[in-house]
Structure 1
Amino acid sequence: MRILTLDFLLEQSAAVSLSDIENYFFHSDRITLYRTLKTFEKKGLIHSIQEKNTTKYSLCQDACTEGFHQDNHLHFYCTQCKETVCLEQVDLSEIQVPSNFSLQQLRFFAKGICDKCNG
C-alpha cells in the first residue's frame, strides 16, 4: 500500500487529502492510508498543508529529511478550481525572528486564482 500511495502522490500536480486518496483506492482501509501518510511525513517524503478543517499532502523537496522539513515556500489555494499547489519559486526562507525566539516551523498559505483558472 505504501508503494501504491507513493506512486499516486508522484502523479499529482496539486496537494491531495486523505479522502482524495481513499477515493482513488476504492477498496482501501482509511486507517492504513492515514498511517502511510503519517509515516511518509515523519520520514520527510511529504508535508501537510492545513486548509480549514482539511489536511492536504504534497511531496517534499529533496532537502527534507526525517524530522526536518525544509518546505519554506508558499502554499496557494485556488478559490475557483479548489486545488492547492506548492509555489516552490516563492522562497520564504529569509524570514528572521528576534534572537530570543526559536523558530521551529513556518507555514505559508495564500488564496486567490491560479494560473490555469486565470487563463
Structure 2
Amino acid sequence: MEPARNNFHFEDLLNRHHLKKTAPRLRVLSMMSARNAATSQPDLESVMNDIDRVTLYRILNAFEEKGIIHKVFDLNGTANYALCSSSCDEGHHHDEHLHFNCTQCKNVYCLDDLHLPAITLPPGFEPQGFTLYATGLCPKCSKKAVKK
C-alpha cells in the first residue's frame, strides 16, 4: 500500500510543478526518494536501464529547473542529485544546508538540519546560492573503521 501512496505524492508534486506525469518521471522520483544519499545520473542509469540516457538527463534537468531536486558535487566533481525541500520552487532553490562527502564510500549526504550561517558579502556581490561541504566518514563507514 505504501508505493501507491508515494506514487500519489509524486503525481501531486509533478502537478504542482506543471510537469506531465510520465512513468519515467515517477520512477526517477521513487528511486531518488528511496535513497538516503544523493545519486548521480550514472548511478540512476545503472538501475533504470530501460530509461535511455537522454531521457534521464532531460528528466533530471527539468526537475532541477522546477526546484524538485538540487545538484551537489562529490569529491570527484561528479554531479549528484537530491530531492529538494518543499520550500524550493522554479528558479529558487533553498538548499543551503551542509553537504557531507564520505571519503570512504563516496556517498554525498544532505544534512538538512544543518543550515548555513548568514553570510554578508561585500558591496556589489549578489549571491545566487551557497554550498557548504564537509568531508569525512559517514556513520556506516565510521562503524566499519572502528571494527578494523
- Which of the five TM-score ranges fits, normalised by the shorter chain? over 0.9
**TM-score under structure 2 normalisation?**
0.76
Aligned residue runs from structure 1 range 1-119, under 5 A: 1-51=24-74, 52-119=76-143
Gaps of 5+ in 1: none
**Higher strand residue share:** 1
- Which deviates the most, 27-36 or 46-55? 46-55
Please tell me whether Structure 1 or Structure 2 has the larger radius of gyration of its CA atoms: 2
What is the aligned-residue RMSD (CA, Å)? 1.2
Q: In 1, distance between residues paired with 2:44 and 2:33?
A: 12
Gaps of 5+ in 2: 1-23, 144-148
Partner AA of 1:94 in structure 2:
A
Q: In 1, distance between residues paired with 2:49 and 2:58?
A: 17
What is the aligned length? Answer: 119
> Could you list the runs of 4 or more consecutive aligned residues of structure 1 that deviate by over 4 angstroms after TM superposition?
none
Q: In 2, distance between residues paired with 1:48 and 1:62?
A: 16
Q: Percent identity?
A: 42
Query: 1:16-71 CA deviation, whole Å, 9 max, x = no partner?
Result: 00011001112220000010000000010000012233110000111111110000
By relative contact order (CA 8 Å, sep 6+), the higher-ranking structure is: 1
**Higher helix residue share:** 2
